[in-house]
Chain A
Amino acid sequence: MLVAARCSVCETMMFPPQSYGCLSCGTAKDGLVEATIPATGILQATATVHMHPTHPVPFTVGRIRIAHDIMLNALLTDAAGQPRIGEQVSARLNNASSVSEDMTSRTIYFCADGGAP
């Protein structure tokens, strides 16, 4: 599951979570409560990045539509085969072996469903 924010006034779900205010109605702080969203979605697009100022290249990112019609960008891994557009993908915590300097050991990758965690 992904930690998200839910507006207690208009029920809008938001990811990433924040307490500045609801993107739909502006409700602030205490009106925004912690919620969870399944860490699963449909892959909309992918791109392999060949040039980046800080992160080792190449790496692949995906745009994923998760529940509540929320779009997010995430790192992709082909650990369970190359994820394709229109396929369901799910989040996995990476193992720490390939952690680079600017990533914590809690980096989340998305991979094709059915892949080994």
Chain B
Amino acid sequence: MTGLLSSWISLLPRGVRWAGAATLLYLLAFGFSPGAWLQAPITFAFLLICPGVLLIDWLDLSDVVIAVAIVIPSSLATNILVSTILVGTRTYTAGAGLIASAAVTLSLMFLSFALQEARIGYEQLRWQTR
């Protein structure tokens, strides 16, 4: 089972793995409420990195400065759009914000995974029909 899980995880794109790990860490930190000294940095990492980290796969941002320049602002922008919808509809609460943010991140993860699969499938199809 563990072997199956790890081989499945190894199939995931790098960004999805990072985002997944950050989400798990965040949920652990939030769930156990260990205090702001740990909760705050993990929260900021979650909000400022998770959605954008998926781009590392899509854009192959191997240069760390370029990755920082694109990943953090795009995560920030994603969360700003999520928050704006909540405050604009006067439905903002911390819980709603967290769920919406996590939902966007998870959607992006699945989208990333689906795109990765589609690209592999397309390459295989092209190779078979050659």
A, B in one complex: no
